[in-house]
Amino acid sequence: MINFTKSTSSKMDRDISMKVIPVLAASALSFVAAWGLLSWTHKSANLAQTPALPSVRPVAEFEAMFGIGISEQLLFKKQGLAFLKAVLASNARVYVFVSADRREEVDKLLRSSPLLHGMERESIVKIQLEHESMWTRDYFPIPVLKAIPHLVPTPSFVDFVYRDGNTLDDAAIHQFALAINLSVEHLPIVLDGGNFMTNGESCVLSEAVSEDPEILLLNSPEPPLESNLEEIFRSTLGCRKTIIVSQIPHPHVDMWIKFLNKTTVAVNRIDPAEIKASSAIGVADREKAGKIALELDRAADLLAEDFQVVRMPMAVPTADSFMTYTNAVLSNGKAIVPRYSKLLPNKDQGRTAKVLEGYEREAEQIYRQYGFEVSFIDANELIQDGGAFHCVTFHLPDLDAIYKDKGFLAIKPPH
């Protein structure tokens, strides 16, 4: 078993292999999900009568992290190794999920890269995990801490149905859990991990959530999912409050919000003057950008009812890209933030680069204001694919740092 603390034994340094059983895993998922949905009615009445503090809670990204998981596909992107090095500098291990057919290729890359030195290589753990997508955030589950009477809280995972419906990706967490001997609870709800953000107490997601269509074939007599979602999330994830944002600027909330601490959330902001001044976009893109700007403002107003809201600058979105600085990775007091100003196509150099440089200075100031050391890594290639660094990572909490001298419900930042 992997112990998610800094004092992990030396066998963590060895590669972990496992047999791939996607068909069996998928069948098990369907059975467990169906059973869970059909049995929910019998539990909900009792849950509503017991509003005590949850025995489970989600883990916020600004809490201490033991490791960060990524797909091997990220390593072969232009800035993949630079990003890997930045994560290692945050005092976190990096778990590289490697498909069997790329194992030798990954080994060669990591051995030969001049960016990595010996100590860094020792903090990289390769796990054979059959998968197809590099968007690990979306198909990996939500990490939670469970409190069992008389025992120290333990990490666990709450898994959802991946919207893309890929069997290998949806079964990946169950392969991973078998390898590290941790539990996974599967819910028959379609929700990508990028559409979930938490401060360790409240949970925020967009309206892009639904029931598993395969489970709906069972003709369950349950009420609509929306009416039970807060109760479900409280019971399984420990969310004291679940906030669902409608009229969303992007289906994944991690593309436009970021919790900076327990009480503060950053929300993207598009400058209306910049929309008018952008000569590189057409009429349709300009109108869409104006609509997204209004949706961001409405979302900020909604979140301001529960949190202090800080507005994070954002470039004018186009049909090709959604250049966001909230899709950063927080790890042990460091913020690894996407940068877009340095590797622009030639046609976008000049004014666009200067505007982006100004946004990046402002984004850096915001992260530093809330105690984070900032590293910028170019993300132009990733953002053209539809996401940035938060989208391609998976957080693993450091139990010792979170629990020691703080207790189960403490969510103090690690710095």
The pLDDT of residue 412 is above 50: no
Which run of H or E residues covers position 355? helix 351-369
Domain at 10-403, CATH homologous superfamily: L-arginine/glycine Amidinotransferase; Chain A (3.75.10.10)
Distance CA 204, CA 256 (A): 12
The pLDDT, as a whole number, for residue 161 is: 85
CA nearest to 92, candidates 333, 320, 264: 333
**At residue 106, what are phi and psi to the nearest 5 degrees?**
-70, -45
Local structure of 309: helix, strand or coil: strand
- Here the tokens at position 383 are 């953002």
- Here the tokens at position 361 are 């200075």
Higher pLDDT among residues 46 and 98, named by residue: 98
Q: Quick one: 32 exposed, middle or buried, by C-beta within 10 A (0-12, 13-18, 19+)?
A: middle
The pLDDT of residue 405 is above 50: no
The pLDDT, as a whole number, for residue 273 is: 92
How do 65-71 and 394-397 pair as beta strands?
A: antiparallel
The pLDDT of residue 5 is above 80: no
Residue 160 half-sphere exposure, CB side, CA atoms within 13 Å? 26
CA nearest to 71, candidates 183, 194, 196, 172: 172
Torsion of CA 310, 329, 22, 26, to 10 degrees: -20
| One-letter amino acid of 4 | F
pLDDT, mean of residues 158-170: 78
Higher pLDDT among residues 341 and 33, named by residue: 341
| One-letter amino acid of 200 | G
pLDDT in tens, 352-397: 888 999 999 999 999 999 999 999 999 999 999 999 999 999 999 8
Q: How many residues does the chain have?
A: 415
Higher pLDDT among residues 80 and 11, named by residue: 80
User: If you average pLDDT over every residue of the chain, what do you get?
Assistant: 81
Distance CA 23, CA 130 (A): 12
Distance CA 124, CA 91 (A): 12
Beta bridge partners of 161: 190
The pLDDT of residue 30 is above 60: no
Question: Do 189 and 211 touch, CB atoms closer than 8 A?
Answer: yes
Q: If pLDDT is split at 50, 70 and 90, which confidence band does 156 have?
A: confident
Question: Do 314 and 374 touch, CB atoms closer than 8 A?
Answer: no
